[in-house]
Structures are given as C-alpha cells and as structure tokens.
Amino acid sequence: MHINISPTKTEVAKNFSDYLKELIKENKTTHIALSGGSTPKVVFDYMAEHYKDVDWSTVHLYWGDERCVPPTDSESNYKMTVDHLLSKINIPKDNIHRVRGEDLPELEAGRYGKVLEEELPIVNNTPQFDLVILGMGDDGHTASIFPHEIDLWDSTNNCEVAVHPDSGQRRITITGKLINNATTVAFLVTGGSKAEKVRSIITKEEGHESYPASLVSPSSGELIWFLDEEAAAQIN
Ligand code: 6PG
C-alpha cells in the first residue's frame, strides 16, 4: 500500500494525473474503471486542461459504478465524465464503455458484467482492469457498495444492483472480485469528512471491516491512496 498525501484537492488531482499519464504511456492498452461522485471532477478538469498530449486511443474507459438514471441526468456519473473530460479529449467512441443507467437495473447489471468479460483480459478466471479508481463516502462505502449491503462485495457476479441507503437511488456496481483482481487500485479521497474512516481503515481499527472500503486489497498488492491533508488529518 502506498499513501500519497498532497496539501490540497487540486494537488491531489495533479499528482494522480501525473501517475495516470505515466501508466498510460507504459501500457500498450490501459483498461480503467472510473469512479463517480464529486472528487473525480477536479482530476478530470486538470487532465483535460493539462494533458492534451495523452494518447487516449490506447485507453478504454469503464465505470466502477453508475446511478440508475439516463445519461443526460445530472446524477449520471457518465454525464459528469463527459462534461469534465470526455467532451474535451480525443478518445475513440468505441473505447468508452458506459453503464446504461437508463435500462432496467437487473438486466443492465447482467449486460455490463458480460461487457467486462468480453472487453477485459481474463486473469484468475476474472476480468482484470489495469486500474480501478475508487472514491470513498463518509460512511466508508466505495464504488456503490454501502455498509448496509456489504455482502454484495462477495458476490460471484461481476456487477450487482445496489441501493443508496438515504436516497433509495438504485445503482449498478462492480463487485469485490473485480476490484481486488485489478492490477492497481487507486483511492481518490479528499476532505475532512473522510478523515475518520481513512484512519479507521488504514490503521485497521476495531470495526473497520464493516466499511466496504476496508475490503479493498488487490491480490497484486498495488493499492494507492491519493489523499489531501484534510482527509489524511488523522493518520498524518
Ligand atoms: C458514486 C461513487 C461513490 C463516490 C463516493 C465519494 O457514484 O457516488 O462512485 O463511490 O466515489 O461517494 O464521493 P465524493 O467524491 O463525492 O466524496
């Protein structure tokens, strides 16, 4: 596990973007699962502005989770990514593998699970991403696996339907077997509201196992936390 702490959210975006640019340059093809929420916006804005020279034709993009809404909805992780990155870079359309949030969740979880089987290399009998990018909620959830549905982590399916504990919003999420089969997993976590869970998970405090984010342990051993000082305030 590597912990990369930067003073500000923008510097987290810069440091993560530097890391991603190197990864893309090193690989012939790079398969990346994107996270949703607000933190990726800063990273996408930074990359769109500063990384015009990235060869995106070698990159395939997927989503680790999506909200069950149309791609035009303000809640859509796909729309957020289009607005902050995809509309500003030159990436082949066929390299963008979005979750169809507008379709019936149970059917879409199955369909997207098959897409991952077809598009990704199969390693350990499981589709393998080169990089899975994850955020973490104040409650310790990651992707769309929330504490009240932590059993979804151990699902034998590639994707599952989840329910947001407060809004009841349905989500499509990849499961633990895909996350922990990735070559590298990178957490992008910023803000003081995350500090308590970051401390609990990284220092393996009593009860940390009840937070889905604590189950992230790629078999490759390549786990990187990109944190700002606020999120790292209780481990620093
Ligand atoms: C989503 C996410 C979710 C997110 C965390 C952190 O679709 O909401 O993928 O797991 O990463 O909730 O969100 P913030 O970055 O907004 O704090």
d(CA 66, CA 54): 25
Rounded to the nearest whole angstrom, what is the distance from the C-alpha of residue 135 to the centroid of ligand 1?
Answer: 5
Rounded to the nearest whole angstrom, what is the distance from the C-alpha of residue 43 to the centroid of ligand 1?
Answer: 13
How far from the centroid of its chain's Cα atoms is residue 162's Cα? 15
Rounded to the nearest whole angstrom, what is the distance from the C-alpha of residue 162 to the centroid of ligand 1?
Answer: 14
Looking from the CA of residue 191, the nearest atom of ligand 1 is 17
Domains within the chain, CATH numbers bracketed: 2-232 (3.40.50.1360)
* pLDDT band for position 223 (cuts 50, 70, 90): very high
d(CA 46, CA 19): 13
SS3 content of the chain, % helix, strand, coil (to 5): 40, 20, 40
Average pLDDT, the chain: 97
Rounded to the nearest whole angstrom, what is the distance from the C-alpha of residue 136 to the centroid of ligand 1?
Answer: 6
Tens of pLDDT, residue by residue over 98-113, are 999 999 999 999 999 9
**DSSP H helical segments within 133-222, as ranges?**
176-179, 195-202
| Two tokens, residue 36 | 């949703």
Residue nearest to atom 13 of ligand 1 (CA): 37
Residue 178 in contact with residue 129, Cβ under 8 Å? yes
* pLDDT band for position 52 (cuts 50, 70, 90): confident
Tens of pLDDT, residue by residue over 56-79, are 999 999 999 999 999 999 999 999
> φ and ψ at 224, to 5 degrees?
-125, 130
Residue length, the chain?
236
Q: What is the pTM of this model?
A: 0.97
Burial 76-97 (b: 16+ CB within 10 A, else e): bbbbbbbbbbbeeeebeeebbb
What pLDDT, on the 0 to 100 scale, is given for residue 22? 96
d(CA 160, CA 44): 26
* pLDDT band for position 236 (cuts 50, 70, 90): confident
Ligand 1 binding site (Cβ under 6 Å of any ligand atom): 35-39, 65, 77, 135-137, 141-144
Q: Which residue out of 62, 66, 69, 142 has the highest number of ligand 1 atoms within 8 Å of its CB and is therefore the one to mutate?
A: 142
- What percent of the chain is modeled with pLDDT above 70? 100
Burial of 203 (0-12, 13-18, 19+ CB in 10 A): exposed
Average pLDDT over residues 19-43: 96
* pLDDT band for position 175 (cuts 50, 70, 90): very high
State the maximum Cα–Cα separation within the chain, in Å, rounded to a whole number.
47
What pLDDT, on the 0 to 100 scale, is given for residue 137? 98
